[in-house]
Amino acid sequence: MYQFIVRRLLLSIPTLLIVSFLIFGMIRLNPDSVVAARLGEGYTPAQAEQIKDEYGLNNPLPTEYVRWLGRVVRGDWGKSAYTSQSVLREMGPKIGVTFELAFLAVIIAVIVGVPIGVYSAMRQDRWPDYVLRTFAIFGLSVPGFLIATIILAVLAKQFGWIPPIRYHSLVDNPSKNLQQMWMPALIVSLATAAQVMRFARTMMLDVLRQDYIRTAWSKGLRERAIVTQHALKNAMLPVITVIGLTMATLIGGTVAFEQIFSIPGLGRHLILAVQQKDFAVVQGVALFFAIAVVTVNLIVDVSYTVLDPRAKG
Amino acid sequence: MSQYWDSYWKRTFSRRRVLAGSTATAAGLAGLALAGCGDDDDSGSNNNGNNNSNLTPISATQTTEQPVKGGTLRSLSTIGSIIDPHRTNTPAESLTVWGAIGNTLVRFSTQKPGSIEGDLAAALPEIPADGLSLTFKIRPEAKWQNKAPVNGRAVTAEDVKLSFDRIRDPAIVSPRAGQFGAIDSITVIDPQTIQFKMKTPQADLLAVMSDQYNFVIPKEIAAKGKDAIVTAADAVGSGPYELTEFVAAQKFTMKRRADGYWRPNTSWIDTFEVIHQTDPQQALNALRANQTDVIGTTADLAKTIESDKNYVITRAPTPTRECLLINHTKDRYKDPKVRLALWRAINRKQVYDTVFGGLGFVGGPMTPAAPNWVLPDSDLAKLPGFGKREDEIKEAKALLSAAGFPNGFEETVLTVTAFDTEKIHDVVVSNLKDIGVTVQTENVGTDFAANFLPREVGRQYNLATTLFLSGGYPDAQLLLYHHSDVVNKGTRNYGNYGNAELDAKLEKQSTLYDDKARLPLVLEIQKDIINNPGPGWMGSRGVLTVWSSKVKNPASFGFATGFYAPEYVWLKA
């Protein structure tokens, strides 16, 4: 197991290096845009040079990249050009917000998606299956931000109510925090729940066709016992992978919802940094997303290996 | 006061009626609009486009009711990550925060839109005949907030000096440093007297000083240099409110200063809260859910609540100017007949009707947001480009024919998908087609700063549909864009327009501190530019702001749209 983890960690290093270099290089493609973003139009050539020096835009890209990488490894992710604050320090509270939203969404998706997927499989090709699959397709095909926009507009116009827009952290005020977070989490979870539901259904159907399940039926076991004691564990192994990967996707995929629901998460932080051409912040947030995705993948792989040792090989 | 604003706007925009709008300006407090203009008697046969409102005009929101203290004014706005007024390039921090917590040396008057009055200065400065110095007296009653490091001490000339020195300091990299290039030195005469010595007279200096970014800060903070104002604790002003909370890209909270504001009978509201939200639909949702009192909005959304008595909608032009930029270094555009043909071809009314749903103000070389300086509509109507559409097309075709293009010509026009420029471009393309000019579009994408601006600045275009934003005063609107010295004076003259005669007039008006003496020349210059056009100016888009009807006196200024006057706002219980 230890060797497996080390091997996976080593494999993730090239991924992170490639991602970080791409991010670092792409946002430096047009140095003039940085100057314009900082100074508007009326800047002098001297000011432009000053800004370029500040951002290291006058140095060769590889040199700057290696310097930046060295600092990152030492824990110095740079400072925001606007606030002069440490990138990591600024990201800190926002990471928690985004994780909370993604985590709540995944929890809801699992709570909703797994039972429905199992139930749908047990009623294959009967009307409950058709109805539930229709909902799943709806959840997958209609963008969540559109659903959110419509729901909020209707709630505001018809009932004069929307979730609170003033953010309170989970630590400071759990009640107010959840009042704001439950609805975006629910809407974010729709597509994920649909995905989990469909995958759970497919896996369940696959398992239900196995010989040992047929044996269980022939022994006269109840449906509930067959599902919970024999089928579910084996069917859920691949579902865990989907849930894990979904979590990774959600960490970077809640941007639109953070905007719509006024949630001060990492996605909104990234958008502002991109608009302001705040290189250090863009690099930091993007690198964090990359690390989060790699880490979640690693956790999924490890947990999968624990649950099914055959996957180790 | 209500009558004043009503009559002011009727007078100013008698033929310049606000049209229904559609542009998205989720500006919140930063987009505070002026009190709307009243309806008028304009039947408008001219083509200036200011005569076809389909949004019910709403009267000014000023009231003569006795203000009461108390309450929290909640608003939504775009909140960035920097609260240093000298370094920011966006309005939320400068207008919303510093407009409430700070003061400028002089300011635009709320009582006489477009004119300037002392803010920290007790009065307008003494200026000798040569215009080479401005001497200000600081109000003795002006006090800093009771916070470290100033702890309520008096504002002094030294504070003013260090504030302007900081803006001008190259190490600060202030976007406004260039506005003060004509200042030679700043001298503290005594604690209450300060003198600005000029290299050359700069008639717009007072307007520049009044602008939304040039706040005076304590000398102790100014002396800290570039990173002097990073947190809420650093944002110490002399204004009526204190910044108590600032979370970048999330929220501001300001509370009325506990030690009392030095300007009596002002600052009524207890607390200002500003939350970051940029989406107009979500902002409207929040307004309907009573989670905010003020939002910026679009004309389409405004129409959904315009009949609701719980809200008041105010409208105003911005100093942004839409433009068909002409590159005069290209042979074809050296011929004034061709340029005039293009100028006449632009259907300005169609631009604002189509792209901005009518929320716009047709204009010439100066923005309609500068009421004291802009050509009256009666004059505009007599000039090329503002007549009946069919006449304009006929004249334009004749001009092209005389220039050797009887069948028009083909041209590539640069544009960008940003700030609705691509939509303006579509209208302009159809306009040019009306006179036989066939356009090949070159759209550089969505990044204005990265892909479009460098092409403009580098003169790498023939024609370009674009927009410009600068202060609503003559140098920023005329000299900057039309002087042929593109290195030192006409630094935004990206089309290399200009001639010696116009340069002389531009330079002359730039030195006239007396507005009465300056105005005729400014108007003459505008006429000159229209008759011998450079950039194809179209006018200015507007902003719409929706207020809860409990908000009273949300006045702002004619010059700098969105400039907020929190001293006078109050909430009716």
Residue A254 banded pLDDT, cuts 50, 70, 90: confident
B285 touches chain A (CB under 8 A): yes
Structure confidence at residue A313 (pLDDT): 55
Query: Rounded to a whole number, what is the distance in Å from the CA of B94 to chain A's nearest CA?
Result: 14
Q: Exposed, middle or buried: residue A301 (CB in 10 Å: 0-12, 13-18, 19+)?
A: middle
Amino acid at B533: P
Query: The complex's ipTM?
Result: 0.83
Residue B398 banded pLDDT, cuts 50, 70, 90: very high
B242 vs B38: which has the higher pLDDT: B242
In sequence order, which residues have a C-beta less than 8 Å from that of residue A161 and are 6 or more positions away? A155, B289
State chain B's mean pLDDT as an integer: 85
Angle at B27 between CA B22 and CA B33, to 5 degrees: 75
What percentage of chain B reaches a pLDDT higher than 70? Answer: 86
B177 touches chain A (CB under 8 A): yes
Q: What is the mean pLDDT of residues B342-367?
A: 92
Structure confidence at residue B45 (pLDDT): 29
Residue B54 banded pLDDT, cuts 50, 70, 90: very low
Structure confidence at residue B522 (pLDDT): 98
- Model confidence over B407-418: pLDDT tens digits? 999 999 999 999
Would the pLDDT of B184 be above 90?
yes
What percentage of chain A reaches a pLDDT higher than 70? Answer: 96
B439 SS3 class: strand
In B63-82, the residues whose Cβ lies within 8 Å of chain A are 76, 80-82
Structure confidence at residue B105 (pLDDT): 97
A42: nearest CB among B178, B276, B279? B178
Using an 8 Å CB-CB cutoff, list chain B residues near A277: 449
Would the pLDDT of B205 be above 60?
yes
Structure confidence at residue B434 (pLDDT): 97
A276: nearest CB among B80, B227, B288? B80
User: What are the φ and ψ backbone dihedral angles of B30, each rounded to 5 degrees?
Assistant: -65, -20
Residue B385 banded pLDDT, cuts 50, 70, 90: very high
Closest by CA position to B377, among listed B392, B361, B354:
B361
Q: What is the mean pLDDT of residues B206-225?
A: 93
C-alpha B383/C-alpha B392 separation (Å) is 10
C-alpha B198/C-alpha B454 separation (Å) is 32
Contact B450 A36 (CB under 8 A): yes
Structure confidence at residue B17 (pLDDT): 28
Would the pLDDT of B405 be above 90?
yes
Would the pLDDT of B156 be above 80?
yes
Structure confidence at residue A42 (pLDDT): 62
A243-252, B233-242, B260-269: lowest mean pLDDT where? Answer: A243-252
Residue B6 banded pLDDT, cuts 50, 70, 90: very low
C-alpha B549/C-alpha B275 separation (Å) is 20
- Model confidence over B424-475: pLDDT tens digits? 999 999 999 999 999 999 999 988 877 898 899 889 999 999 999 888 889 9
Element (H, E) at A7: helix A2-26
Query: Rounded to a whole number, what is the distance in Å from the CA of A62 to chain B's nearest CA?
Result: 22
- Model confidence over B100-148: pLDDT tens digits? 999 999 998 776 767 889 999 999 999 999 999 999 999 999 999 999 9
Amino acid at A5: I
- Model confidence over A298-312: pLDDT tens digits? 888 888 777 776 665
Would the pLDDT of B572 be above 50?
yes
In B536-555, the residues whose Cβ lies within 8 Å of chain A are none
Residue A255 banded pLDDT, cuts 50, 70, 90: confident
Residue B209 banded pLDDT, cuts 50, 70, 90: very high
Angle at B273 between CA B66 and CA A89, to 5 degrees: 160
C-alpha B533/C-alpha B384 separation (Å) is 10
C-alpha B82/C-alpha B150 separation (Å) is 22
- Model confidence over A98-111: pLDDT tens digits? 999 999 999 999 99
What percentage of chain A reaches a pLDDT higher than 90? Answer: 49
State chain A's mean pLDDT as an integer: 88
pTM summary value: 0.82
Structure confidence at residue A311 (pLDDT): 63
- Model confidence over B299-345: pLDDT tens digits? 889 889 988 999 988 777 888 899 999 999 999 999 999 999 999 99
Element (H, E) at A33: helix A31-39
Structure confidence at residue B2 (pLDDT): 34
Residue A183 banded pLDDT, cuts 50, 70, 90: very high
Mutate to test the interface with A, among B250, B451, B481 (most CBs of A within 10 A): B250
Nearest Cα residue in chain B from A39: B175
Structure confidence at residue B327 (pLDDT): 97
